[in-house]
């Protein structure tokens, strides 16, 4: 393993900018860390180079733990966004810097300098000063300089950020060729997805300090696990779908007597949308009728926006304009052959089909604030936690007056405080898969405690926790609590359970959480742990809501201090395969 990161965390003023990132990079691999600005990708890269001290976790290079090794002894090559060439030194001296520091003999230095200048195709510029070179040339020199001491790892922080498009592309090709030739393990940080696709063997997508997903570019594009990755890599229509035995459906209308289908988040790529004249002409799965609202010609492809009929698919994120009745707006892109086959004009009515739909494995689809009065429902809808979650997860938050016949699809939310225990009990007993109990004024939690009441609930609980924690920069602790009077053999088993939970969270959801094992009364231990942190949240899993000790949970929900509690009901539901 060339680079191994284990639970790396870096905080600035107590806010984690890199949050529990674990990652392994194979020798010779080109990994691109992709993310919007402020996602922590540069900080992570600097932590690998040793330019930033980390608060928690370990960094290993080639099997050696270098967590506490200073940057100068890590033997990495680092390329900065603004080149960072030494302006008072010639190009030759710049390249030889690492060798001079190591007291390499002059003849050897000169030979290496020549070799490197040839590598970046800038021979004969030895005696120039950096300011006499163009931006692209300067960055080539920076790459040559970073390679001079034959590091085994090359780290590049937005190396093309300051260059114009044409030079960027050329330099990109050069870098890729050099990296292949030398078999150099490389991590490059960028916010440009095109760049990531062009260079990467593997892409790691970062968001709010977390490494959300890491995988081959085509895998990430076709089978993303998270909302963020599905919309950050390429364009995507995120729709609320309903899983039925016949596949994913886009309308929630249920025939009487039919069970409520499970709500899911479906990704429909613009290029997977088929437009046709009528329903019977659609070759893929018919979605509904819509009206072409906008056509944009963009060279090779045509971009359209199609307004779907009011009873059509519901977007996960509520649109900025229009009421729900106006129908959702679908992004469509079509190639030239498709355009020739079925030309469309603005205002034209079209039948829409979906060639391929990818269902996100995320367990959280939408939120519904349930309350008895309109004011209470609105207050819950606007509560800091729920509204922030809605914005961050780009998901729909609706309100419902009164509990209705059965729980809403997606995740119901009720206010904590008086009467909340009864409301919560009703929701869970009538089949809600998850339930969020929200104090109307509580801020986002800084600390999330995860606990399951039985082992069967673990998988679902960890999945929900991971989905939530991707959008909340909080520290996660998975707490295992067992009776004090456990035998030694049982204790081993508990430990193994905990480790299993952790590795499942990591491998399946990319969630790196801490685990702690406690012995004692679970209510007492949970209470103590919750009291340690001011703004903590509890995620509680159970595979049998009927067995929950409601006296205890009721006291937790209705007592002081009020804190958010998310209850995961892992009771088996038959709704087909998970993915």
- For position 68 contacting other proteins by CB under 8 A, the verdict is no
Beta bridge partners of 30: 186
Across the beta sheet with 56-61, the strand order is 15-25, 3-12, 56-61, 64-65
* Radius of gyration for the chain, computed over Cα atoms and rounded to the nearest angstrom: 27
Which of 15, 106, 132, 561 is close enough to bind other proteins by CB under 8 A?
A: 132
The nearer residue to other proteins, 146 or 565, going by C-beta atoms, is: 146
- 37 C-beta neighbours (distance < 10 Å), count: 8
Alpha-carbon span 91 to 78, nearest angstrom: 17
The nearer residue to other proteins, 103 or 489, going by C-beta atoms, is: 103
Beta bridge partners of 248: 243
Residues from 515 through 534 that contact other proteins (CB under 8 A): none
- For position 116 contacting other proteins by CB under 8 A, the verdict is no
Which of 86, 123, 319, 336 is close enough to bind other proteins by CB under 8 A?
A: 86
Which of 6, 97, 289, 575 is close enough to bind other proteins by CB under 8 A?
A: 97
Plot region of 440 (φ>0 → left; ψ -120 to 50 → alpha; else → beta): alpha
Which of 98, 308, 317, 369 is close enough to bind other proteins by CB under 8 A?
A: 98
Alpha-carbon span 465 to 462, nearest angstrom: 5
- For position 13 contacting other proteins by CB under 8 A, the verdict is no
Specify the residue for token string 């020549």: 114
- Which run of H or E residues covers position 31? strand 30-34
The minimum distance between CB 134 and other proteins, in angstroms, equals 13
The minimum distance between CB 195 and other proteins, in angstroms, equals 21
Which of 78, 160, 250, 367 is close enough to bind other proteins by CB under 8 A?
A: 78
Q: Where are the alpha helices (DSSP H) in 223-272?
A: 227-232
The minimum distance between CB 145 and other proteins, in angstroms, equals 7
The nearer residue to other proteins, 49 or 501, going by C-beta atoms, is: 49
Tokens read off for 102: 């190591």
The nearer residue to other proteins, 154 or 267, going by C-beta atoms, is: 154
- For position 49 contacting other proteins by CB under 8 A, the verdict is yes
The nearer residue to other proteins, 76 or 450, going by C-beta atoms, is: 76
Alpha-carbon span 579 to 566, nearest angstrom: 23
- For position 70 contacting other proteins by CB under 8 A, the verdict is yes
Only segment of 129-137, 183-191, 268-276, 460-468 that touches other proteins (CB under 8 A): 129-137
- For position 105 contacting other proteins by CB under 8 A, the verdict is no
- For position 146 contacting other proteins by CB under 8 A, the verdict is yes
Q: How many residues does the chain have?
A: 579
The minimum distance between CB 365 and other proteins, in angstroms, equals 44
In this structure, are residues 228 and 207 in contact, taking their beta carbons and an 8 Å threshold?
yes
- For position 76 contacting other proteins by CB under 8 A, the verdict is yes
The minimum distance between CB 97 and other proteins, in angstroms, equals 5
The nearer residue to other proteins, 62 or 355, going by C-beta atoms, is: 62
Decide: helix, strand or coil at residue 129.
coil
Query: Which of 337, 75, 362, 340 minimizes the C-alpha distance to 227?
Result: 362
Which of 40, 77, 545, 564 is close enough to bind other proteins by CB under 8 A?
A: 77
- For position 159 contacting other proteins by CB under 8 A, the verdict is no
Torsion of CA 516, 518, 524, 528, to 10 degrees: -40
Which of 64, 68, 87, 180 is close enough to bind other proteins by CB under 8 A?
A: 87
Distances (CA, A) of 218 to 53, 215, 232, 253, 579: 34, 8, 14, 34, 18
Bridge-based pairing state of the strands 210-215 and 314-315: unpaired
Specify the residue for token string 């060279």: 299
Tokens read off for 534: 């001011």
- Which run of H or E residues covers position 380? helix 374-381
The minimum distance between CB 142 and other proteins, in angstroms, equals 8
Which of 21, 25, 34, 148 is close enough to bind other proteins by CB under 8 A?
A: 148
Q: Which residues bind other proteins (CB under 8 A)?
A: 49-51, 70-78, 80, 82, 84-88, 97-98, 101-102, 129-132, 142, 145-146, 148-149
């Amino acid at each position: 393993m060339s680079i191994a990161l284990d639970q790396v965390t870096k905080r600035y003023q107590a806010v984690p900018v890199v949050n529990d990132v674990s990652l392994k990079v194979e020798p010779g691999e080109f990994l691109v860390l992709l993310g919007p600005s402020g996602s922590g990708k540069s900080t992570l890269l600097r932590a690998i180079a040793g330019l930033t001290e980390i608060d928690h976790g370990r960094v290993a290079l080639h099997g050696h733990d270098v967590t506490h090794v200073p940057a100068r002894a890590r033997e990495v090559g680092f390329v900065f966004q603004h080149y960072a060439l030494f302006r008072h030194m010639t190009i030759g001296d710049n390249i030889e810097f690492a060798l001079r520091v190591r007291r390499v003999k002059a003849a050897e230095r000169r030979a290496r300098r020549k070799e490197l200048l040839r590598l970046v195709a800038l021979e004969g510029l030895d005696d120039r000063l950096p300011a006499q070179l163009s931006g692209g040339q300067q960055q080539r020199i920076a790459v040559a300089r970073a390679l001079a001491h034959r590091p085994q790892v090359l780290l590049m922080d937005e190396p093309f950020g300051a260059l114009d498009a044409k030079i960027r592309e050329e330099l990109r090709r050069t870098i890729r060729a050099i990296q292949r030739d030398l078999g150099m393990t490389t991590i490059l940080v960028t916010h440009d997805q095109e760049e990531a696709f062009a260079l990467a063997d593997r892409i790691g997508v970062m968001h709010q300090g977390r490494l959300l997903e890491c995988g081959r570019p085509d895998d990430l594009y076709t089978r993303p696990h998270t909302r963020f990755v599905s919309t950050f890599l390429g364009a995507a229509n995120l729709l609320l779908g309903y899983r039925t035995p016949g596949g994913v459906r886009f309308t929630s209308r249920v025939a009487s007597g039919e069970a409520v289908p499970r709500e899911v988040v479906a990704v429909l790529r613009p290029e997977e949308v088929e437009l046709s004249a009528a329903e019977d002409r659609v070759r893929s799965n018919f979605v509904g009728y819509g009206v072409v609202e906008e056509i944009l010609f963009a060279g090779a492809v045509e971009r359209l926006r199609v307004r779907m009929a009011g009873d059509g698919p519901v977007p996960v994120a509520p649109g900025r304009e229009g009421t729900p009745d106006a129908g959702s707006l679908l992004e469509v892109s079509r190639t030239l052959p498709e355009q020739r086959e079925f030309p469309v004009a603005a205002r034209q009515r079209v039948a829409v089909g979906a060639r391929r739909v990818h269902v996100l494995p995320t367990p959280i689809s939408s939120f519904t604030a349930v309350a008895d009065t309109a004011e209470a429902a609105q207050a819950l809808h606007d509560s800091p936690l729920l509204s922030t979650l809605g914005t961050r997860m780009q998901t729909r938050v609706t309100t419902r007056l009164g509990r209705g016949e059965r729980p809403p699809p997606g995740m119901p939310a009720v206010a904590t405080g008086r009467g909340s225990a009864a409301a919560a009990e009703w929701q869970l007993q009538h089949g809600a898969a998850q339930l969020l109990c929200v104090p109307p004024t509580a801020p986002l939690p800084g600390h999330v405690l995860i606990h399951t009441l039985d082992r069967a609930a673990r998988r679902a609980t960890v999945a929900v926790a991971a989905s939530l924690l991707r959008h909340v920069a909080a520290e996660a602790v998975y707490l295992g609590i067992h009776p004090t009077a456990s035998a030694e053999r049982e204790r081993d088993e508990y430990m193994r359970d905990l480790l299993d939970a952790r590795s499942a969270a990591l491998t399946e959801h990319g969630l790196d959480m801490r685990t702690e094992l406690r012995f004692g009364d679970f209510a007492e231990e949970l209470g103590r742990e919750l009291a340690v942190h001011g703004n903590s949240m509890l995620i509680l899993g159970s595979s049998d809501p009927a067995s929950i000790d409601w006296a205890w949970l009721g006291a937790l929900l209705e007592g002081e201090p009020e804190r958010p509690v998310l209850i995961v009901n892992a009771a088996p539901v038959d709704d087909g395969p998970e993915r």
